[in-house]
């Protein structure tokens, strides 16, 4: 009967994804049905950890995170958890042999958000992004290549660069909330009180370089089961970056950039045409 419980657990992770991110849900729907569940399971885990540090302000976040981390390791060891999100995630971890180092790095970055408010060096910044984004890309890549170690090694740098690009776009889009509500400043050597055009452009150039590397060295070489879904997410974030690029630096803290539903549909249609014509 555990199969029924696992199915319910997987459904919970899918529900979390759909409720928290319509854009990511759209991209996951473009993946092969054979791998969607595991990507939902990864998202459910990282989403809950992120919610603990970003939104549960009326509760003891450190205790919640400690319980969440402890319960995950118990779930992984026992192969079951009554927390459906952890139950579904441990299935994916064990199914694809996702290394413990990836989960450790992710949780380390999440726990940093409990107390660290500023990243003053490139090393600190890179370490945070590795844990919060790069390893999530690597977890997904483990699913995409389905045990093909040679393909994983070939694509892992691109997966990390794509994860970095997504995270940096999020940082730029969420500057106001991160800085004013959560008192966080991720970009090193950038004064968010006086963000100038040059600093903003340097950030955008860095993200563009990540995107270009990820597209050429990763997305184009992905297995067919994953290519269109990842390409869809890439197109969405590239559009976000373009919109952010058009906002003057002095106004970016006061502007919340979003992609409208009609634009999402437009991106989907155009991306699908390119995919079917073997242009990606």
Query: What DSSP string runs through 230-278?
Result: HHHHHHHHHHHHHHHHTS-GGGGGG------HHHHHHHHHHHHHHHHTT
Q: What is the pLDDT of residues 18-51, one digit of tens each?
A: 999 988 998 999 999 999 999 999 999 999 999 9
Kindly report the average pLDDT of the chain as a whole number. 92
Q: What is the CATH number of the domain that holds 130?
A: 1.10.600.10
Predicted local confidence at residue 21, as pLDDT: 92
Assess contact for 94 and 79: CB atoms under 8 A. yes
Distance CA 61, CA 65 (A): 6
Assess contact for 188 and 121: CB atoms under 8 A. yes
Predicted local confidence at residue 1, as pLDDT: 73
Give the structural domain span for 265. Answer: 2-276
Distance CA 242, CA 160 (A): 21
Coil, strand or helix: which one is 87?
Answer: helix
Predicted local confidence at residue 5, as pLDDT: 96
Distance CA 149, CA 211 (A): 24
Mean pLDDT of 237-241: 95
Asked whether the predicted pLDDT for residue 267 surpasses 70, the reply is yes
* Closest CA relative to residue 53, chosen from 44, 45, 64, 43: 64
* φ, ψ dihedrals at 201, nearest 5°: -65, -35
Instruction: Give 276's pLDDT tier (boundaries 50, 70, 90).
Output: low
* Closest CA relative to residue 111, chosen from 175, 181, 164, 49: 49
Predicted local confidence at residue 257, as pLDDT: 76
Predicted local confidence at residue 277, as pLDDT: 65
Asked whether the predicted pLDDT for residue 95 surpasses 80, the reply is yes
Coil, strand or helix: which one is 32?
Answer: coil
Predicted local confidence at residue 224, as pLDDT: 94
Assess contact for 169 and 238: CB atoms under 8 A. no
- What is the number of structural domains in the chain? 1
Predicted local confidence at residue 17, as pLDDT: 97
The 3-state DSSP composition of the chain as helix, strand, coil percent (nearest 5) reads 80, 0, 20
Asked whether the predicted pLDDT for residue 255 surpasses 80, the reply is no
Assess contact for 61 and 53: CB atoms under 8 A. yes
Give the long-range contacts of residues 53-61, CB within 8 A, separation 24 or more: 53/110, 53/111, 53/113, 53/114, 54/113, 54/182, 61/114
Distance CA 11, CA 9 (A): 5
Asked whether the predicted pLDDT for residue 279 surpasses 70, the reply is no
Asked whether the predicted pLDDT for residue 266 surpasses 90, the reply is no
Asked whether the predicted pLDDT for residue 264 surpasses 90, the reply is no
Q: What is the pLDDT of residues 142-157, one digit of tens each?
A: 999 999 999 999 999 9
Q: What is the pLDDT of residues 166-175, one digit of tens each?
A: 999 999 988 8
């Amino acid at each position: 009967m555990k199969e029924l419980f696992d199915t319910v657990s997987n459904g919970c992770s899918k529900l979390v994804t759909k409720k928290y991110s319509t854009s990511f849900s759209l991209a996951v729907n473009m993946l092969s049905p054979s791998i969607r569940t595991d990507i939902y399971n990864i998202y459910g885990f990282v989403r809950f950890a992120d919610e603990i540090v970003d939104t549960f302000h009326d509760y003891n976040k450190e205790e919640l995170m400690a319980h969440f981390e402890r319960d995950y390791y118990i779930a992984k060891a026992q192969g079951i958890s009554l927390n459906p999100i952890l139950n579904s995630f441990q299935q994916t971890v064990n199914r694809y042999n996702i290394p413990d180092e990836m989960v450790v790095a992710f949780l380390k970055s999440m726990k940093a958000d409990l107390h660290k408010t500023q990243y003053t060096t490139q090393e600190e910044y890179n370490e945070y992004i590795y844990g919060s984004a790069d390893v999530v890309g690597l977890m997904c890549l483990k699913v995409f290549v389905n045990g093909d170690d040679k393909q994983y090694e070939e694509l892992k740098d691109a997966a990390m660069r794509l994860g970095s690009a997504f995270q940096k776009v999020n940082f730029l889009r969420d500057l106001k909330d991160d800085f004013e509500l959560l008192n966080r400043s991720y970009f090193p050597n950038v004064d968010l009180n006086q963000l100038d055009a040059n600093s903003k452009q340097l950030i955008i150039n860095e993200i563009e370089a990540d995107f270009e590397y990820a597209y050429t060295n990763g997305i184009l070489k992905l297995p067919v089961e994953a290519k269109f879904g990842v390409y869809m997410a890439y197109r969405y974030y590239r559009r976000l970056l373009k919109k952010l690029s058009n906002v003057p630096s002095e106004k970016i803290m006061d502007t919340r950039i979003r992609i409208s539903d009609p634009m999402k549909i437009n991106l989907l249609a155009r991306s699908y045409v390119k995919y079917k014509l073997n242009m990606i």
